[in-house]
Structure 1
Amino acid sequence: MAGTTPRRVGRLLLSQYWRDGPLLHWPVRARAVAGPMPPGVVPDVCDGTSRVGPVALGMERPGPGSGGGLPFFGTFPEVNVRLFSVDGQGRRGVVFRSLDCPRLAAVPAARAALGLLRRWSDTRWTAEYGAPHLAGRVRGPAGGRAGRPLRGDVGPRLERPGLPADLLTARWGLHTRTRGRTVYLRVEHPRRPLHRAHAHELRQNLVRAAGVEVAGPPASVLFCPGVPVRSGPCTPAD
């Protein structure tokens, strides 16, 4: 899998910047995550397993086209739990099982436009001095909360990430179900700068609340300081 965008987005719909993002992943059996996949999409598998994991990031000035951020949105943290997907056209992407953010206006917008499971939460995310820290209240589907689900530190940069880092970070789209059809939202960004990272404190209830059971520490912990992201129009995936 290449670490650079295989297809350009063409017509630009949305631009933003993802910053200070830790990526944690566990291997899971494909059949354990096949149920949540939208029609026409199956789990993406490498070395006999698929992957699941939470990703926290600072969503910086999202807005339409290249004209900058929307009023009142600014920069806000987002925590998502993602599955890895591939469709019948061979396009690899992710399927979100949850997206938590503290911007109330962003919740109905994501649900209406893309059918995403974005929820409001009192989430606070910092990554100062090489120490990622996710705090606040992340609300589960039944009202459960995680008070401090992640604390870690950042190590040296990976000059040649290779597999499985490319599998985990070179995801060039989003598969989702909206308005009765499965669609693929293409994304484009430069190769992510990646660092090794370590999670000192981690509560797995974020993944469990998303409907996937994992055990033990994550098999992979990476950190990306930031990358500009462009999104194009949705295309059919089923």
Structure 2
Amino acid sequence: MVSYGPPQRVYVPALRADWLTQTFVHWAYPPARIQPLLPRGLTVDTFDGAAWVSLTPFVMAGVRPPGSPAALPPFAETNLRTYVRGPDGGQGLWFLSIEVACPVMLAARAVGVPYHPGRLELARRDGVVDYSGARRGDGPRYRLTVRPGEPIRPSRQDVWLTSRWRAYTRQLGALWETPVEHAPWPLREARLDALSETCTRVVGLPPPVTEPVVHFSDGVRNVRLGVSHPIRHRGGTPAGATPDG
């Protein structure tokens, strides 16, 4: 079971950040729809027999390397992610796409993070939060309006959907793992006032047919992202790679 707080410490972060004004929109899918989208070495994770895909727009603030007093100006980011188990059975995230409004973050492509430059906007008004985003050309687009409510005590499903402490990427023929540490998400009720999206279709999924589960969080600060590293089997071969590399 996924833990409410991080099971590991990130003593030497590669990056620090604050993740703010975050909405989670989660859809259930048959696991057989998700597994073909994953690289070798990852297995779709399920909750009560269903796989899940989540659209998560938010604000990245305070992005800085450790020890640096200077941070990037805040910018918007949007993830489309799913839930997986790694070669060791550990639970984490696989990002189907990431749109970001900060070109500097494209450097993370070096370890396989699927960043794409996008035109993203976020605004708060009259008790609602509006998000919108688009990638150039035929890339994914979305518009989302959510109405945050009262704080909630997270259920078992809420924790499973929001509390993940590692992310997987694929680069140079191998799976890579990035550990993450931050305080537990302070979750609030949320109601969708409007939603249109092509993000799921662009990555090869049919449009969602189930009602989404929605959460809102004002955010977490002092997020510590660890150094990404390739995952190796006991024999020394990187997971997902052939023995000859």
TM-score, length basis structure 1:
0.89
Q: Which residue of 1 aligns with 2:116?
A: 119
Q: Which residue of 1 aligns with 2:164?
A: 171
Cα shift readout 1:85-140 (whole Å, capped 9, x = no counterpart): 11122321111111111222322x0212x2122111111112455412113x4126
Q: Which residue of 1 aligns with 2:175?
A: 182
Q: Does the 8 Å CA contact 1:77/1:102 hold for their aligned counterparts? A: yes
Q: C-alpha distance in 1, partners of 2:204/2:64?
A: 31
Q: Which residue of 1 aligns with 2:197?
A: 204
Q: Which residue of 2 aligns with 1:138?
A: 134
Q: Give the letter aligned to residue 98 of structure 2.
A: L
What is the percent sequence identity of the aligned residues? 26
Q: Who wins on radius of gyration, i.e. which is larger?
A: 2
Q: Does the 8 Å CA contact 1:57/1:77 hold for their aligned counterparts? A: yes
RMSD: 1.9
Corresponding residue pairs, total: 230
Q: C-alpha distance in 1, partners of 2:173/2:27?
A: 31
Q: Which residue of 2 aligns with 1:235?
A: 229
In the TM superposition, what are the counterparts of 1:45-64 in structure 2 within 5 Å?
45-64=46-65
Stretch moving more, 195-204 or 125-134? 125-134
Q: Per the alignment, do residues 138 and 225 of structure 1 end up closer, same or farther by CA in structure 2, a change over 3 Å counting?
A: same
Q: Per the alignment, do residues 55 and 199 of structure 1 end up closer, same or farther by CA in structure 2, a change over 3 Å counting?
A: same
Q: C-alpha distance in 2, partners of 1:156/1:27?
A: 24
TM-score, length basis structure 2:
0.87
Unaligned runs of 5+ in 1: none
Q: Does the 8 Å CA contact 1:20/1:127 hold for their aligned counterparts? A: no
Unaligned runs of 5+ in 2: 232-238, 240-245
- Displacement of 1:235: 3.4
- Displacement of 1:69: 4.7
Q: Does the 8 Å CA contact 2:140/2:197 hold for their aligned counterparts? A: no
- Displacement of 1:66: 4.7
